[in-house]
Structures are given as structure tokens and as C-alpha cells.
């Protein structure tokens, strides 16, 4: 269910990246420019419509947040719904420490 920082850094363009943090966190903390930001609560309430609109190519999904807790919850939920979803191991903080 996890994707390593190394694998993600080499292949991020093959994934639909979903950042599940708050809008404030997304704007003020490190983030990926290519990620779509939808707060976890809003996403879980309306995930089918959001994915249909934001991921029309139906790419595999990588969920991200600061450390991987919230994004892990969303990835598990999506897997249970039949989606191909992973979470970034260690979150954006680990990514930023390892990839410079």
C-alpha cells in the first residue's frame, strides 16, 4: 500500500497525486506543484465525483500529507473501494528530506 520516496520521485508523473491536507497546510507547507489538494473530509464525502473530475485518465492514485497518517487512511479507503491507491511512505516531510 506504500510507495517509496525513491520510486515516487522517479515516476510521479505516472500517478494522480492527491494531497489530503487542509488548504492552509497545502499553501504554507512544502507541497508538490503537480498535486491536487482536497481536504480529507471533503474527499471522503465526495470521492467518486472528485476522482471523476480530477483524474479523468484514471491513473493510479498516490495520496500525500505531511507524515503519511491522513493520506494512509485515504489510500486504505480507496483500496477498499477498488481503486489502485498507495500512500507516499513517510509523507512529504520524508520526501523533502531525502530528495533535494
CATH of the domain at 72: 3.40.250.10
Kindly tell me if the per-residue pLDDT of 15 is higher than 90: yes
Kindly tell me if the per-residue pLDDT of 21 is higher than 90: yes
Distance (Å, whole) CA 10 – CA 72: 21
Number of compact structural domains in the chain: 1
Q: What pTM does this model have?
A: 0.96
Mean pLDDT value of segment 19-36: 97
Distance (Å, whole) CA 71 – CA 59: 17
Question: Domain containing 23: what range?
Answer: 2-99
3-state secondary structure labels for all residues of 57-80: CCCCEEEECCCCHHHHHHHHHHHH
Closest residue by Cα to residue 44 from 26, 14, 20: 20
Q: Are 34 and 17 in contact, with CB atoms under 8 Å apart? A: yes
Amino acid at each position: 500500500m506504500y510507495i517509496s520516496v525513491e520510486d515516487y520521485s522517479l515516476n510521479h508523473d505516472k500517478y494522480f497525486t492527491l494531497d489530503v491536507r487542509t488548504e492552509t497546510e497545502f499553501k504554507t507547507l512544502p507541497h508538490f506543484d503537480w498535486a491536487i489538494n482536497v481536504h480529507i473530509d471533503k474527499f471522503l464525502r465526495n470521492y467518486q465525483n472528485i476522482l471523476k473530475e480530477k483524474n479523468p485518465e484514471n491513473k493510479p492514485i498516490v495520496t500525500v500529507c505531511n507524515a503519511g497518517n491522513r493520506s494512509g487512511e485515504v489510500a486504505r479507503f480507496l483500496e477498499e473501494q477498488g481503486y489502485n491507491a498507495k500512500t507516499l511512505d513517510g509523507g512529504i516531510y520524508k520526501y523533502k528530506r531525502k530528495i533535494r
